[in-house]
A and B are shown apart, each in its own frame.
Chain A
Amino acid sequence: MPTFTLNVNGSPRTVEVRDAAEPLLFVLRNQLALTGAKYGCGLGQCGACTVLIDGEAMRSCTVSASAAQRKAITTIEGLGTAAKPHPVQAAFVAEQAAQCGYCAAGMVMTAAALLAKNPKATRDDAQQALAGNLCRCGTHQRILDAVVRATGAKA
């Protein structure tokens, strides 16, 4: 079975992929036990699987694992932990910005990518940046408040 190396959360990880078309999402989840990114649609329509690839928020369900070689992949687990959260994650906790939480990792990763580019993002900026991320529980207002909180501004 073809074996190659992915650079995930700063470490080289060896994976075995039978089918070159296998999306990065399933390799992260099932081979590397990085289950934070979620399968929501497999079509790039919902954002639940969002990870950072070379700093860009990307849909790991529509990028093949083989195409992600030699790129820097950051998953939600690499962003921060419950004990040492990234500022975006800390803001999500402070705003209690998750209900079922299935979309949460994708929201956090998209927000982190936004703030890396625009540390002073406004609520409007966040609404645009998150336009491709779906939430069914209706946590949107808190997610927007969390993004604004993470910039240090008042919601």
Chain B
Amino acid sequence: MSATVDRRDFLKGAGALIVGFSLHGAPAAQQLPSAEKAIGKTLDVNDVDGFLAVNADGSVTIYCGKVDLGQGLRIAIPQMAAEELGCAIDRIAMVEGDTALTPDQGPTAGSTGIMRGGVQIRQAAATAREALIGLAAEKLGRPRGDLEVVNHEVRPTSGGPGVRFGDLVGDRRFGIKVDAKAPLKDPATYTVVGKSLPRPDVPGKVTGGHKFVHDIVVDGMLHGAVVRPPTIGATLADVDESSIRSIPGARVVRIKDFLGVVANTEWDAMSAARALKARWTGGGALVGDAGVRAWMKAGPFESDESLVKKGDAKAALAGAAKRLSAEYYWPMQSHASMGPSCAIADVREGKATIWSASQATHRFRATISRLLGLAPAGVRVIYVDGAGCYGMNGHDDAAADAALLSRAVGRPVRVQWTRQDELGWDPKGPPQLLALEGALGDDGRIAAWRTEMWLPKATAQLPNIPLLGPESAGMPQAPGLSTGLISQNGNPPYAVAHQDVVVHWLKDAPLRPSNLRAPGKIANGFAVESFTDELAAAAGRDALEFRLAGLSDPRGIEVVKRAAALIDWRARPSPGPGGVGRGIAYLHYKNNETYVAMAMEAEVDRSSGAIRVRRVGCAHDCGLVVNPDALRQQIEGQILQTLSRTLHEEVRFDRSNVTSVDFASYPLLRFPDVPRIAIDLVVRPTEPPLGGGEAASTPVPAALANAVYDASGARLRTVPFTRDRVRGAFA
């Protein structure tokens, strides 16, 4: 193997890991001052040069199609590359999600950042290392087997002078394919992977210097805002442009039913959007939040699908002596990102450049090219950090808004959504309804199980979720729904001889849906693991023992036992004597990924209905852990975010529109309600790395519901667990 010498003078001086970029002036190079010089490089995921480059000074630049949304890929992926390449972590820079520079590694979604994206880059790094050794072997006249890579050079294992990376391929292409068989380092020899290295973006984030997409300024940029209709689906009848005449420089952009304003300053744009008088007609006829559950049962349906069929569940249920059934409901929820979506677009002369916090810059590039009728080569989407998004929030909608406004006025336009825009119009996590039936055998174990699910059906091969601005502007878009993989984990993770899981796929959703963290699996886990607890209680058995009796996978058993130990679990049937209750829940994510168990202690105030979560213990096994502290951050975040979703969150809407458009009507978990969290990571360096960004969300609601039941005897089957609902459960 040898690297070809195609000399290219790119990436000079890309030394340190640079995650911000300079303020003001046109931020052409978003993440690295020198990255612009690399434009034209290959984006092929099969090429080593797609993913990494060695610079003249021996430093390394990684081109990563996955992006850091706050989950720590910005340190973890460089760690994986550094390990294979024998590099210092602070001499690796990473460019993320720039369609002109980074390969398309798919959206940053589904907890695949490390397990797919990182693993791809690791293999490219291992291939590069082998190539560097080959080049050094020629140069030094020594057999490959005598050489090793250490600290940006290849040197003889026996000592003596080596040759530096920069002298082998500095600023040149490798010109080789990623070799799936390039050997990976033995995990026993890891020195970088497995270390809790600090994330490079944190100092900037806590001192105000880190630049979010909200903070960047493009030369000549105007500020835009979009006026959405008061009723979803309404038609714009007329606009009174004189209503914003008092704001100098403000002007109206109207494209069919798309109504926007553009102004010189952000405040002027916001003020103009608020002041603009428009008359809308029609639209509405939504089912309303109170009507969702009945609507889901009524249809219309697309199809029924059998997901699991083992034995004869119907017959086993019919013949069982002890049989239970229950229905669980999960409402629509918002991403509720802390920063309303923001983007900048510069659409001029047949080209478009878009700065966006999109999870999927390559997909969005194709979408913009299609919508605006621009050649894909002329469209560049550059990822810049936004507020955490946990799935597809309004980022892509805001970017499309900005593109429409920019094209209309011929200048770069920044669009900043308001809080009301974000909570009102971000695509929502879909509603989920599950009906469960189970039977206990004479041995006190689960003999039969049936899950029936009612879920909105995601549209196959939908190129992009239909975007709001283009929809209003009458631009053709493929119709359909996006939800993520919401039907997984509807089966019990325990040995049950007779089981059915069926789904009734709904043709539509009450509001435009999208993927929201751990799509579907949180609600399914809530139902399955709460119902498991109902069966355990009906059998008069301890909830932990009942689960362990049905588990045979040693990795599953390990996390369940370790989670229970974190809250000093003592065996007894539920409900307990009152006071503090404890609950446990377990999930094997997507049935073949991360193993996670959650144990929780909670108190319930019977008179007020208030739930207080006292402590949470989580045991987590995602195989190889690249950065334990970053993983812990993710797990803590998932626990608290899912507690928020479980205790407080439901999108409210009436016949016309979403009504929960601020943090009073869409409340989130607050500091006084934050419990103590303990995390036990099961570390398995020789196993492949699995996802850490979603799985720990999934057992949270059931662990809490089970703790509430143990504390009070009240079984909560509808989210959110509001005080009224808790009081109702006692009635």
Contacts and interface: CB of A to CB of B under 8 A. Distances in A.
Given A99-B633, A138-B638, A142-B633, A36 B208 contact: yes
25 contacts: A35-B212, A36-B208, A41-B663, A45-B663, A46-B338, A46-B419, A79-B207, A89-B203, A98-B201, A99-B70, A99-B637, A100-B69, A100-B385, A100-B386, A101-B205, A102-B339, A127-B672, A127-B674, A130-B671, A131-B671, A136-B388, A138-B638, A141-B677, A142-B633, A144-B674
Contacts of A38: 212, 214, 338-339, 387
Given A89-B206, A136-B337, A137-B641, A29 B215 contact: yes
B668 A134 contact: yes
Most chain A CB atoms below 10 A, which of B267, B336, B340:
B267
Interface string B185-217: 000000000000011011111111111101100
Interface string A24-60: 0010011001111111111101101000000000000
A131 B641 contact: no
Interface of B: 23-24, 69-72, 198-199, 201-212, 214-215, 248, 265-268, 271, 336-340, 385-390, 416, 418-419, 629-630, 633-634, 636-641, 644, 662-664, 668-672, 674, 676-677
A103 interface: yes
Nearest to B641: A138
A18 B214 CA distance: 22
B671 A144 contact: yes
A115 interface: no
Interface in A95-115: 96-105, 108
Contact of A82 (B24, B72, B204): B204
B380 to A, nearest CB: 23
A102 B671 contact: no
Given A100-B69, A102-B387, A105-B206, A139 B338 contact: no
Contact of B633 (A46, A81, A139): A139
A71 B550 CA distance: 66
A140 B336 CA distance: 16
Contacts of A134: 338, 663, 668, 670
Given A33-B24, A81-B207, A99-B388, 4 more contacts: A23-B267, A33-B23, A76-B208, A96-B202
Interface string A119-152: 0000000111011111111111111100000000
Given A41-B662, A141-B640, A136 B209 contact: no
A35 B337 contact: no
B206 A101 contact: yes
Contacts of B202: 92-93, 96-98, 101
Which 9 pairs across A and B sit closest by C-beta, in order of nearness? Answer: A36-B208, A101-B205, A138-B640, A100-B388, A100-B70, A138-B637, A76-B208, A99-B70, A102-B387
Given A18-B268, A105-B206, A135-B338, A96 B198 contact: yes
Contacts of A41: 419, 662-663
Given A43-B419, A128-B672, A134-B670, A96 B677 contact: no
Contact of B267 (A26, A34, A101, A131): A26
A130 B296 CA distance: 39
B423 to A, nearest CB: 9
A144 B498 CA distance: 48
A127 B69 CA distance: 26
Contacts of A43: 419, 662-663
Contacts of A128: 671-672
Contacts of B70: 98-101, 137
A42 B202 CA distance: 25
A103 B208 contact: no
A66 interface: no
